[in-house]
Amino acid sequence: MDRSTLHKFWNPVTETMPRADLADWQWRKLERALARAKAGSPFWAARIPDGISSLKDYAERMPILRKADLIAAEAEAPPYGTLPSTDPSLGIRYHQTSGTSGNTPLRTFDTARDWAWAVDMWCTALHGAGIRPGQRACVAFGYGLFIGFWGMQDALMRMGCQIYPTGAMDSKTRVQLLVDKKIEVLASTPTYALRLLDTAREMGIDLARDGSLKRVIASAEPMSAATRRTITEGFGAPITDIAGMTELGTIFMFECLSGSPHIIENNYIEEVLDPETGRPVEYGERGVRVTTGLGREGIQVFRYWTEDVVIKRPWSECGCGRSWDWYAGGIIGRHDDMRKIRGIPVTPVLIEDVVRTFPEVFEFQSVLRTVRGLDGILIRVEPHTGFGVTGLDERIRAEVKRKIGLQPEVELVGPGILPRFEAKAVRFHDER
């Protein structure tokens, strides 16, 4: 293997492994993971069928795991209940889900081995996105119980980058730091990246001109095409989408430099199932991710129904050299967020992709409600200060009608009316 190939991949052996060898690798890791879970976790001991003999047998016989199952298991003896496969006292970190969906937060811990593995997943992704030793990186993150970018910070340090943690800073201070310290890598949610751009505009700073960014790392929420364009143009730097889950303990997918969001398949088994029938879909067909983690020892998940809507594509359609399959467009949305309004399917990302095409829009909120017996959508829009907004509501209404097929009510609101988000944004509300 030549030097250029070694430089291209964090782990060239696993990232370019032939597919037959990859399947064998997954099966051997799955065997060990199942044995650990059955021996150590009362929850999994009662759930794992005996005699699973292959990946195919596993997919056919292992039951689907839902988030409600995990929460119910934890409730038996908080905080972790019957889930752990190893002694929780070995945990060196505690995290929990954000609870933005209105559900009870899921609580989780990581052992030292778990965290070393989780950080390595981030290194795989960051290296694949072009991040290299010596670069200056700002992690715009609140550093709370949500797992968020904790693993990324440790990965950047492991890779030899210089970290500027900004948990206590407000947006203006973060913008100034980006310019003054010549930050080359910025990590945040897509929503907060938009907020930084708006703050910079208020400060008279053009980050595409005045900044030094080489890469924006976005995670924690689905990102529409319009949002991606706005962030890329505003910072003057390409954006990389990286996706993870607290339930898995780290990330599972990242965009390579060719723009394909690859699954880290040497550490995850990812199925895509039809949400109605539960049967596997073909490449190119939309379905819901069902994931199995192969690298965590403390709290394990097998065949977990994520609610993430994806379209899987074969590895051979990407020219980056990795032998891992990928998801076209990354995480398209969430199945549990899809609603039907007068027979038309509507998701938050669909609405965002329309609304974000209007440069006058700073923040927005979608509300599904019933008025005089008819379901409809109200879109509240907070315009940027200093922008002309004459006819903005009518133009948004017409574009939503044209793109989605529904004519919403559009309400323009004043500055500061709509909520701000640093972590996961919640813009979609069903009040019916």
Q: What percent of the chain has pLDDT over 90?
A: 73
Between CA 256 and CA 261, with CA 260 as vertex, the angle to 5 degrees is 85
Domain positions in the chain are: 1-335, 338-430
Reported residue count of the chain is: 432
Query: Identical fold at 1-335 and 338-430?
Result: no
Q: What is the pLDDT of residue 11?
A: 96
Looking at the DSSP bridge assignments, the partners of residue 345 are 340
Q: What is the pLDDT of residue 122?
A: 98
Contact 125, 151 (CB under 8 A): no
Which residues of the chain, if any, have pLDDT below 50? Answer: 1
Query: Which CATH superfamily does the domain covering 338-430 fall into?
Result: ANL, C-terminal domain (3.30.300.30)
Please provide residue 402's backbone torsions phi and psi, each rounded to the nearest 5 degrees: -70, -40
Q: What is the pLDDT of residue 422?
A: 66
Residue with tokens 């195919």: 56
Q: Which CATH architecture has domain 1-335?
A: 3-Layer(aba) Sandwich (3.40)
Structure token pair of residue 176: 């100034």
